[in-house]
Structure 1
């Protein structure tokens, strides 16, 4: 992007035009990687091997330290051992309907969470695909279509979304609330012609249970939240995938 450069170790940012000025240098600490295998080479699992998917997703780091400085207009920002998260998307279009949530400002450093539920077109049909990954106390909990996890409930309105996921006897309850929303350019059929709303000032609470016993209750005062294609009406739908 212009004179900016991005690597796995640092970001050098220089975005200057008549409307915006963003300059700075950020360095990253060690990345917290997700668990992978030959069968599941990335967060998409076995779906990573299917060619020409409309949208592909990758998680580079669930959590890492960020240090450096940014200048945004006349505002100077300093990052001192702050928390970072990096993911990537590639393909031709974002899904027509999806929910995306991410947070890693939990009380315990290293705890991190991401979740994506999307309507996936494949081989002439569409299905609701699930990817959710929680790092907590040094363990990874993966809820995904490819490991037979289920979306038990989706409830949403203009203020946020609540989800209930399950994998065997483990359940994850997610409650995410919008605070502020900004506009974000998004791809549609290979061009950045769509605009979606993303809130980076949201809040999230997670409850993890096994056989009805609470294993974790954690909250993050900062979260990224996107709800696209669901409208603003209140819904309470039960889905199985």
Structure 2
């Protein structure tokens, strides 16, 4: 039987659940079109309005769309992983999109190869480390590919064709009943100097009757991984956040990672609250992200991306020094 902790891509829930959501996030960037587009297929289970959905966010400028489907249109397989909603199909090797609400239509086919999974051990079966084993957390997170190639074409809601030729993609997901009350998240994998990919999240994590600020950060540079996380002894030594800017320093022993991210444009996405997609967050998909990695105070690598996804939810004006 497949291990759900080490394979977060497979459906983690059951359709009989109440107050539950699960959503996959597949991001693609077309450098020839200078646009990014992410598809978020998922399921919302609640007593009032259980349904499947495909959410779309595209930039630049940022536009968002939410397409709903009857629950019966949601189908998944474990080996190999696949997800079908309506006439659209998602897997770790391709995405076939055909979604419409009568006013907006997305159609195309994208192929993935050379996926970059994160390093895994028994202690860290996925990006959440040992927290992956804790049941009934409000929200769990998984990363399937930090970086991979994307090829294909896609027609967007305006009738414009996006062409992907050896471009880059990223795949992650969330599941549980609600997003954290406060969090920041950013991801980028278009860096000009080296093949690099970075994802980072800082959030308030409820645990028993209290909560704490936890963080996850994974950085890939030319095939080597650098992990900074609450569970492996990493510390937040500086955190400054506004509505438009994030400055974060993470340290782990002799390693230091500095991240600067700027959110230039954002639009609302639907988000889960007790399983229902009734909350809203704002995400930008064309922000700027800079990072610097140091070892023993010596700069190892610095790079910058203009295609960063960024979310800041109720964390503005929080400083940690």
TM-score bracket, shorter-length normalisation: over 0.9
- Deviations along 1:96-130, one digit per CA (max 9) or x if unpaired, are 00010100001145310000111000111101111
- Give the deviation of 1:75 after TM superposition: 1.0
Tell me the residue number matched to 2:175. 90
Pick the aligned partner of 1:155 from 230, 240, 247. 240
* CA distance in structure 2 between the aligned counterparts of 1:75 and 1:183, rounded to whole angstroms: 22
Pick the aligned partner of 2:129 from 24, 45, 50. 45
Stretches (4+) displaced over 6 A: none
SS of the equivalent of 1:43 reads coil
Distance 1:86 1:109, change over 3 A: farther
Structure 1 vs Structure 2 CA RMSD? 1.1
Tell me the residue number matched to 1:60. 144
Tell me the residue number matched to 1:237. 320
SS of the equivalent of 2:231 reads helix
- Give the deviation of 1:220 after TM superposition: 0.9
* CA distance in structure 2 between the aligned counterparts of 1:133 and 1:111, rounded to whole angstroms: 11
Where does structure 1 lack aligned partners over 5 or more consecutive residues? none
* CA distance in structure 1 between the aligned counterparts of 2:225 and 2:303, rounded to whole angstroms: 15
- Deviations along 1:45-96, one digit per CA (max 9) or x if unpaired, are 0100000110000000000000111111311111111100000111101000
TM-score w.r.t. structure 2 length? Answer: 0.72
* CA distance in structure 1 between the aligned counterparts of 2:277 and 2:318, rounded to whole angstroms: 30
Tell me the residue number matched to 1:180. 265
TM-score w.r.t. structure 1 length? Answer: 0.95
* CA distance in structure 1 between the aligned counterparts of 2:197 and 2:248, rounded to whole angstroms: 17
SS of the equivalent of 1:39 reads coil
Q: Does the 8 A contact of 2:178 with 2:273 survive in 1?
A: yes
Tell me the residue number matched to 1:25. 109
Where does structure 2 lack aligned partners over 5 or more consecutive residues? 1-84
- Deviations along 1:187-231, one digit per CA (max 9) or x if unpaired, are 111111111100101001001111211111111111000000124
- Give the deviation of 1:19 after TM superposition: 2.8
Q: How does 1:125-144 map to 2 (within 5 A)?
A: 125-144=210-229
Matched, 1:77 2:173: no
Q: How many aligned residue pairs are there?
A: 236
